Structure 1
Amino acid sequence: MARTIQSLERAAAVLRLLAGGERRLGLSDIASAIGLAKATTHGLLRTLQQEGFVEQDTASGKYQLGAELLRLGNSYLDVHELRARALVWTDDLARSSGESAYLGVLHQQGVLIVHHVFRPDDSRQVLEVGAMQPLHSTALGKVLAAFDPVAHNEVMEAGEFPAITELTVTDPAEFEKGLEETRSRGWASDLGETWEGVASIAAPILDRRRMPVGAVGITGAVERMQAGGTLHPRLVAAVRDCARSVSRDLGAGRF
Structure 2
Amino acid sequence: MPGPIQSLARAAAILRLLAGGERRLGLSDISSSLGLAKGTAHGILRTLQQEGFVEQDTASGKYQLGAELLRLGNSYLDVHELRARALVWTDDLARSSGEAVYLGVLHQSGVLIVHHVFRPDDSRQVLEVGAMQPLHSSALGKVLAAYDPVAHSEAAENERPALTPRTITDTAGFEDVLELARTRGWASDLEETWEGVASVAAPILDRRRMPVGAVGITGAVERVCQEDGEIQARLVAAVRDCARAVSRDLGAGRF
User: Under a length normalisation based on structure 2, what TM-score does the superposition of the two structures give?
Assistant: 0.69
Is 1:254 aligned with 2:254?
yes
Structure 2: gaps spanning 5 or more residues: 1-76
> Secondary structure of 1:80's match?
helix
Q: In the alignment, what sits opposite 1:209?
A: 208
In the alignment, residue 126 of structure 1 is paired with which amino acid? V
Q: CA deviation at 1:78?
A: 6.8
After superposition, residues 159-170 of structure 1 pair within 5 angstroms as: 160-170=159-169
After superposition, residues 67-78 of structure 1 pair within 5 angstroms as: none
Q: CA deviation at 1:80?
A: 3.1
Residues 79, 114 of structure 2: 8 Å contact kept:
no
Structure 1: gaps spanning 5 or more residues: 1-76
> Secondary structure of 2:106's match?
strand
Q: Deviations over 1:133-153 (max 9, x none)?
A: 100000000000000001001
Distance in 2, Cα, partners of 1:174 & 1:252: 31
Q: In the alignment, what sits opposite 2:155?
A: 155
Shift in alpha-carbon separation, 1:178–1:125, aligned structure 2, 3 A: same
Q: CA deviation at 1:79?
A: 4.5
> Secondary structure of 1:227's match?
coil
Q: CA deviation at 1:172?
A: 1.1
Residues 161, 172 of structure 1: 8 Å contact kept:
no
Q: In the alignment, what sits opposite 1:198?
A: 197
Q: In the alignment, what sits opposite 2:91?
A: 91
Residues 142, 188 of structure 1: 8 Å contact kept:
yes
Distance in 2, Cα, partners of 1:102 & 1:79: 14
Q: Deviations over 1:48-87 (max 9, x none)?
A: xxxxxxxxxxxxxxxxxxxxxxxxxxxxx97431111001
Is 1:173 aligned with 2:172?
yes
Q: In the alignment, what sits opposite 2:123?
A: 123
Q: Deviations over 1:169-193 (max 9, x none)?
A: 1111100001000000000000000
In the alignment, residue 150 of structure 1 is paired with which amino acid? V
Q: In the alignment, what sits opposite 1:70?
A: none
In the alignment, residue 116 of structure 1 is paired with which amino acid? H
In the alignment, residue 139 of structure 2 is paired with which amino acid? A
Q: In the alignment, what sits opposite 1:52?
A: none
After superposition, residues 139-154 of structure 1 pair within 5 angstroms as: 139-154=139-154
Distance in 2, Cα, partners of 1:241 & 1:125: 25
Q: How many residues are matched?
A: 178
> Secondary structure of 2:161's match?
coil
Which has the higher mean CA deviation after the structures are superposed, 229-238 or 95-104? 229-238
User: Under a length normalisation based on structure 1, what TM-score does the superposition of the two structures give?
Assistant: 0.69
> Secondary structure of 2:234's match?
helix
Residues 146, 178 of structure 2: 8 Å contact kept:
yes
Is 1:231 aligned with 2:224?
no
Distance in 2, Cα, partners of 1:221 & 1:196: 9
Q: In the alignment, what sits opposite 2:107?
A: 107
Q: CA deviation at 1:161?
A: 1.0
Distance in 2, Cα, partners of 1:97 & 1:153: 32
In the alignment, residue 105 of structure 1 is paired with which amino acid? V
> Secondary structure of 2:208's match?
coil
Residues 104, 113 of structure 2: 8 Å contact kept:
yes
Residues 85, 249 of structure 1: 8 Å contact kept:
yes
Distance in 2, Cα, partners of 1:230 & 1:166: 17
Q: In the alignment, what sits opposite 2:62?
A: none
Distance in 2, Cα, partners of 1:231 & 1:155: 24
Note the aligned Cα RMSD (angstroms): 1.2
